[in-house]
Amino acid sequence: MKIHLKVWRQKDQNDGGRFVDYTASNVSPDMSFLEMLDIVNIDLVKKGETPIAFDHDCREGICGSCGMMINGRAHGPGRGIATCQLHMRSFQDGDSVVIEPWRAAAFPVLKDLMIDRTSFDRIMQAGGYTSAKTGGIPDGNAILIPKPVADEAFDAAACIGCGACVAACPNSSAMLFVSAKVSQLALLPQGQAERTTRVQRMIAQMDEEKFGACSNTYACEAECPKQISVTHIARLNREFIAAQF
Amino acid sequence: MSESLRNDGRVWVPKKKGDTRNPKDIPESERDYYLERQYPSFGNLVPRDVASRRAKEMCDNGFGVGASKMAVYLDFADAIKRLGKEAVFQKYGNLLDMYKQITGEDPYTTPMRIYPAVHYTMGGLWVDYNLMSTIPGMFVLGEANFSDHGANRLGASALMQGLADGYFIAPYTVSDYLASNKFNAVSTDAKEFKDAENSVTATINKLMGIDGKKTVDEYHREFGKVMWDYVGMARNKEGLKKALTLLPKIRAEFWKNVKITGNAHEINMELEKAQRVADFMELGELIAMDAMNREESCGGHFREEFQTEEGEAKRNDKKFSYVAAWEYKGPGKKQVLHKEDLDFEYVKPTQRSYK
Ligand code: SF4
Ligand code: FES
């Protein structure tokens, strides 16, 4: 396969950035999208040029580092996958593909397709944990958690912090991310101790980072690689309001 | 893919070598459910190292399937018949979806094609009883230390170690260390800091100055292929000898001919990767050397010359009942072996059997 690429190149944070055209030849439909970029990069290095910078680590959809906008969609075409799980068989020979970094004030572009996602880390540091002492080990049967509740907490915990929800949202809102992180703890006994301060602090930090508000567009749910449901946003709102009293 | 799929999936290959028929067209009588045949009591649930070696053996002997011939089937047809598709989805949905995404094939209707991959290291750094490494104050928790792994570093044992170290050990040993030591403020003018900084800068300058012909990726693949072929799931003296001549050559060439573009004063992913690959080369060579040295099969290390008639790992406890800690003496210098004897006071090691 031959793919025509338009890739966002930006030297550093101060550079204005621009699209540059590349052609990826000899692409196999079995390759992942990132492997296709690897090949383009090998060619670039051989020609003495700087390769396209992009984040990646696990390449199996669990670390959350590989996000990019592909033809205007966060993580590209397909549902429930991260960029690293997108394969070239989703494209046709001769296709043109536009690749950009996430665009949001809270995610400044560091270089090419790499963005700075530390705003998410600061939201987590504000309250996305439990600090209760563990003490001895209670008997597993002493704390019963109904299966549907455990399942829902697990679904929320599947969030990999990739930022696609922010990138897909017209308001650059981080509500889906924050709601997943609040939900997973609010649903379980371990999360009860800090339940009210957690949601208040995380939302305060979210606002400080300049993420927008939610206007029920649901683009986040559609593009989330872990298919986190917007019902978690409803729970987040409820937790936040309940924390005021 | 996760090993847990073998809970309900059945592993098989065609009985005939080089059979290229669609798996659906191969009747029951012409399939070899080799794990169930060889291990009647454990069947598809034999431990990972056994299942891996048997799969490799099948492929090495020409029974592999798919275009690459480097795969065996993992079939969910019976599980779906027995439990229903919904139940199988509930248990393994995320994994099966992942497979479908990667291969473009539907594992609910076509058997999956699987092949074992190597964990070159099952855990790593030496630690003492308190989980502190040889560097005072540097504690190593979870999978990154060497303490709890045998032949089966399954996800669950890694998880167990993360929890056990994190919940029960580190809170006591790390706080004890902090409480019983005095720490003066460290300045970046300290000699140690300067030395470390200088040595990193020197490495970076060296890498940037090479300006050779081959990319980091090419060296990574070349080195990785040798590791995969000769230092992988099953090793033998001849293969290791070959690896020990090839690996240093590739490494030497890397340091003369690697090409890294861009500069060292910006985000440079090639430079970062080059340093990781350089580390991988050092570690790879060490693993090959250690594998050569250990003339027995034990844990994740399997030497083909040392196996029982049943194809099980054969240990040599007289000579090798020790943990090997290799002391790094600097680039290009021979590492020094420190042996830490394994003392089995109550439970004596025996030969396991999954027949
Ligand atoms: S909610 Fe989904 S899209 Fe948002 S960060 Fe988590 S995994 Fe990514
Ligand atoms: S590289 Fe880890 S999620 Fe894509």
Residue ranges of domains in chain A: 3-110, 118-242
Q: What's the pLDDT tens digit per position in B7-37?
A: 999 999 999 998 999 999 999 999 999 999 9
pLDDT at site A134 = 61
Q: Which amino acid residue places its CA nearest to atom 3 of ligand 2?
A: A61
Atom in ligand 1 nearest the alpha carbon of residue A163 = 5
Distance (angstroms) between ligand 1 centre and the Cα of A159 equals: 5
Interface subset of B 5-64, CB within 8 angstroms of A: none
Name the residue among A234, A86, A225 with its Cα closest to residue A160.
Answer: A225
Burial class (CB in 10 A: 0-12, 13-18, 19+), B191: exposed
CA distance B304 to chain A (A): 32
pLDDT along chain A (245 residues), means of 10: 97 95 95 96 95 94 95 94 95 97 97 97 96 70 91 96 97 98 94 95 97 96 97 97 94
Q: Is B262 on the interface with A (CB under 8 A)?
A: yes
Q: What's the pLDDT tens digit per position in B170-184?
A: 989 999 999 999 998
CA distance A90 to chain B (A): 10
Alpha-carbon torsion, ordered A99, A102, A103, A105, to 10 deg: -160
Q: Is B217 on the interface with A (CB under 8 A)?
A: yes
User: Nearest 5°: CA angle at B288, between B251 and B202?
Assistant: 35
Q: What are the backbone angles phi and psi of residue A12, rounded to the nearest 5°? A: -160, -170
* Closest residue to B261, CB basis, from A49, A81, A111: A49
Query: What letters, b where the CB count within 10 A reaches 16 and e where it falls short, cover A125-158?
Result: ebbbebeeeeeeeeeeeeeeeeeeeeebbebbbe
pLDDT higher than threshold 70 for residue B81: yes
Contact list in B for residue A54 (CB cut-off 8 A) is 269
pLDDT at site B241 = 98
Kindly report the CATH number that applies to the domain delimited by A3-110: 3.10.20.30
* Closest residue to B270, CB basis, from A45, A78, A134: A45
Cα separation, A226 vs A208, in Å, equals 26
Atom in ligand 2 nearest the alpha carbon of residue A57 = 1
Q: Which amino acid residue places its CA nearest to atom 6 of ligand 1?
A: A159
Q: Which residues pair with A24 in a beta bridge?
A: A3
Q: What's the pLDDT tens digit per position in B100-126?
A: 988 889 999 999 999 988 876 777 788
Interface subset of A 199-228, CB within 8 angstroms of B: none
pLDDT higher than threshold 70 for residue B150: no
Name the residue among B287, B197, B274, B295 with its Cα closest to residue B243.
Answer: B287
CB B236 within 8 A of CB B303: yes
Say if ligand 1 is within 6 A of residue A191 CB.
no
Q: Is B67 on the interface with A (CB under 8 A)?
A: no
Distance (angstroms) between ligand 2 centre and the Cα of A226 equals: 12
CATH topology of domain A118-242: Fumarate Reductase Iron-sulfur Protein; Chain B, domain 2 (1.10.1060)
pLDDT at site B233 = 87
Q: What's the pLDDT tens digit per position in B267-312?
A: 999 999 999 999 999 999 999 999 999 999 988 889 999 998 888 8
Cα separation, B291 vs B241, in Å, equals 10
Contact list in A for residue B103 (CB cut-off 8 A) is 30
Alpha-carbon torsion, ordered B144, B146, B147, B148, to 10 deg: 80
Interface subset of B 81-120, CB within 8 angstroms of A: 97-98, 101-104
User: A49 vs B260: CB contact, 8 Å cut-off?
Assistant: no
**Radius of gyration for the alpha carbons in chain A, expressed in angstroms and rounded:** 20
User: A42 vs B217: CB contact, 8 Å cut-off?
Assistant: yes
Only one residue has tokens 């986190």, namely A228
* Closest residue to B267, CB basis, from A29, A81, A114: A114
Q: What's the pLDDT tens digit per position in B332-354?
A: 788 899 998 988 899 888 887 77
pLDDT higher than threshold 80 for residue B156: no
User: A51 vs B270: CB contact, 8 Å cut-off?
Assistant: yes
* Closest residue to B262, CB basis, from A50, A78, A87: A50
Ligand 1 test: best mutation among A120, A162, A175, A181, most atoms within 8 Å of CB?
A162
Report helix angle B216-230 to A33-46, nearest 10.
Answer: 120
Contact list in B for residue A41 (CB cut-off 8 A) is 217
User: B104 vs A89: CB contact, 8 Å cut-off?
Assistant: yes
**Residue of B91, B100, B101 to mutate for A, most A C-beta atoms under 10 A:** B101
Say if ligand 1 is within 6 A of residue A111 CB.
no
User: A51 vs B104: CB contact, 8 Å cut-off?
Assistant: no
User: B215 vs A50: CB contact, 8 Å cut-off?
Assistant: no
Q: Which amino acid residue places its CA nearest to atom 1 of ligand 2?
A: A59
Q: Is A110 on the interface with B (CB under 8 A)?
A: yes
| Confidence class for position B144, pLDDT limits 50, 70, 90 | confident
Taking CB atoms and an 8 Å cut-off, how many pairs form between chains A and B? 51
What the block records as the tokens of A68 is 């990019």
How many CA atoms are closer than 13 Å to the CA of A97, on its beta-carbon side? 26
User: A114 vs B261: CB contact, 8 Å cut-off?
Assistant: no
All residues at 6 or more sequence positions from B176 whose CB lies less than 8 Å from its CB, including other chains = B130
Contact list in A for residue B218 (CB cut-off 8 A) is 42
For ligand 2, residues with CB inside 6 Å are A 56-59, 61-66, 82-84
Q: Which helix (H) or strand (E) holds A214?
A: none
pLDDT higher than threshold 90 for residue B243: yes
Q: Which residue of B has its CA nearest to A39?
A: B217
Q: How many CB atoms lie within 10 A of CB B20?
A: 10
User: A12 vs B267: CB contact, 8 Å cut-off?
Assistant: yes
CA distance B215 to chain A (A): 7
